[in-house]
Chains A and B, each alone.
Chain A
Amino acid sequence: QKEVEQDPGPLSVPEGAIVSLNCTYSNSAFQYFMWYRQYSRKGPELLMYTYSSGNKEDGRFTAQVDKSSKYISLFIRDSQPSDSATYLCAMRALAGGSYIPTFGRGTSLIVHP
């Protein structure tokens, strides 16, 4: 079993829908939780990160962390075709490991007009 599990999709939704992307993990030492967005034929870019538990909101995007369940989510409100991309979760412990995050496999999201 991988340390970080993420459903690869694809997830296809109509424009304007609320999207929920999720990851589960097994390492209780993880403290930083990140979401990267990767457009086709491009490198991943950091979208949001959260330290420890709780919610963080940035415009149409909300990241949630539930450490008791080892479950993180990314919500996208009023989804747009420009949100079509692969979303990778990533996480790392507080110290050690040379700051190397563990990535999920990524979920492909398609928002159709």
Chain B
Amino acid sequence: NAGVTQTPKFQVLKTGQSMTLQCAQDMNHNSMYWYRQDPGMGLRLIYYSASEGTTDKGEVPNGYNVSRLNKREFSLRLESAAPSQTSVYFCASRGLGQGSGELFFGEGSRLTVL
């Protein structure tokens, strides 16, 4: 199984450009999440989808939009990229019945905004 797959792995954008980060999981998980990770800041939740058809804001949603396309896929869109959005983005998923609430992460998408 591939687990959580993110594309692209690397991207360089100019200020004002738009792009979409794609995420897909093959574990039949209900919940999916988008985090950003910056040096010294740890993981910060951008948006999450508790189940297919629902999305909610996390800690740092400004400048982002999300779409839960189906149970497998959860995309993150930057409409007008800014240098402050330079970061590593992680998608994660969680299945039902996982007592600890364990999240399964993708390998990350490294975004640079010039």
Which residues of chain A have a CB within 8 Å of any CB of chain B?
6, 8, 32, 34, 41-46, 49, 51, 88, 92, 98-101, 103-106
Contact = CB atoms under 8 A, between A and B. Distances in A.
Given A49-B102, A100-B48, A105 B108 contact: no
Contacts of A49: 100, 102
Interface stretch (B36-44, B60-68, B71-79): B36-44
Interface residues of B, number: 25
A32 B42 contact: no
20 contacts: A8-B40, A32-B101, A34-B101, A41-B108, A42-B107, A43-B107, A44-B90, A44-B103, A45-B105, A51-B99, A88-B43, A92-B101, A98-B31, A99-B31, A99-B98, A100-B58, A103-B43, A104-B42, A105-B40, A105-B41
B96 to A, nearest CB: 10
B103 A98 contact: no
B113 to A, nearest CB: 19
Interface centre among B41, B43, B92, B94 (most CB of A within 10 A): B43
B37 to A, nearest CB: 9
B1 to A, nearest CB: 14
Given A43-B4, A88-B43, A101 B108 contact: no
Nearest to A2: B42
B105 A100 contact: no
Interface centre among B56, B58, B92, B101 (most CB of A within 10 A): B101
Contacts of B45: 100
Contacts of B100: 32, 34, 46, 49, 51
Nearest to A45: B105
Given A32-B99, A46-B102, A99-B98, 14 more contacts: A34-B102, A42-B107, A43-B4, A43-B105, A44-B103, A46-B103, A49-B100, A51-B99, A100-B45, A100-B58, A100-B101, A103-B42, A103-B43, A105-B40
